[in-house]
């Protein structure tokens, strides 16, 4: 049995949408798997939150919400954030193998901001090159789900991306964006995205995602020369995806 697992409190963040995307993608390629969203709030609060976000593309996601804190599976797929939550919320896990998708929490670990609880001897990390961990690691880039992206509403015609305006990615005064979802989701919804490299101090995950499109994260782009079709080509799951290959 393959179980995707996420601990959720309050808001739509990158780790939640990454796990939802992964679940939808694996299911679309015929992988038999289950998904549990551990509700750190009252269950009805989490359910209302999911409804307000158009069920992220599938009402079946409501069945994933749980208050359980104990899980067992052959393989567990999670975000690095869950390793922090295991440590902080006494979540019990028993599995033969754990596959961890990177998140900002990997960088927070390197900066001494958070602690991880590794609960499985056979743990594999799937990371972009900006993240380093002392475990078996594959270079990997998160894949978006068309089902979820199609539920997003276009925010506006033009958005200026600047790391300095995003407080949620600041770690020890370093602005570290692990994926840059606001850029790729915006382009997918036909928003013109202007990119400024202000406050870039280290080669973060976003720089490596930009490299996928032949772009330099240290340069400004007005707008980013990336099309919706390129997003689908580079950031949608295909049958040779590395995650599919190791399952």
Between CA 35 and CA 148 the distance in angstroms is 15
> According to the model, what pLDDT value does residue 8 have?
93
> According to the model, what pLDDT value does residue 12 have?
67
> How confident is the model over 15-53, as pLDDT tens digits?
999 999 999 999 999 999 999 999 988 888 899 999 998
> According to the model, what pLDDT value does residue 165 have?
85
> Are the beta carbons of 82 and 13 closer than 8 angstroms?
no
Domain ranges in the chain are 2-144+237-246, 146-234
> According to the model, what pLDDT value does residue 154 have?
86
| CA 4 vs CA 16, 22, 37, 76: distances in Å | 11, 8, 8, 6
- Listed as ranges, residues in the chain with pLDDT below 70 are 12
> According to the model, what pLDDT value does residue 10 have?
73
Between CA 136 and CA 115 the distance in angstroms is 18
174-175 and 170-171 strand pairing: antiparallel
């Amino acid at each position: 049995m393959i179980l995707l697992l996420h601990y959720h409190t309050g808001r739509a963040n990158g780790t939640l949408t990454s796990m939802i995307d992964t679940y939808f993608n694996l299911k679309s390629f015929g992988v038999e798997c289950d998904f549990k969203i551990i509700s750190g709030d009252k269950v009805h609060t989490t359910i209302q939150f999911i409804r307000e976000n158009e069920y992220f593309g599938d009402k079946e996601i409501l069945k994933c919400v749980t208050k359980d804190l104990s899980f067992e599976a052959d393989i567990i797929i999670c975000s690095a954030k869950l390793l922090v939550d295991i440590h902080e919320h006494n979540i019990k896990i028993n599995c033969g193998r754990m596959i961890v998708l990177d998140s900002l929490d990997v960088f927070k670990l390197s900066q001494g901001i958070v602690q991880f609880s590794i609960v499985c001897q056979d743990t594999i990390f799937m990371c972009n090159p900006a993240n380093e961990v002392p475990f078996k690691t594959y270079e990997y880039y998160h894949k978006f789900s068309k089902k979820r992206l199609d539920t997003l509403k276009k925010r506006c015609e033009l958005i200026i991306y600047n790391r300095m305006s995003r407080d949620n990615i600041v770690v020890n005064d370093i602005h570290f964006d692990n994926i840059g979802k606001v850029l790729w989701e915006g382009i997918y919804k036909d928003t013109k995205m202007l990119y400024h490299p202000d406050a870039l101090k280290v080669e973060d995950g976003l720089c490596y995602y930009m490299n996928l499109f032949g772009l330099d994260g240290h340069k400004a782009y007005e707008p980013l020369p990336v099309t919706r079709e390129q997003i689908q080509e580079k950031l949608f799951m295909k049958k040779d995806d590395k995650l599919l290959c190791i399952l």
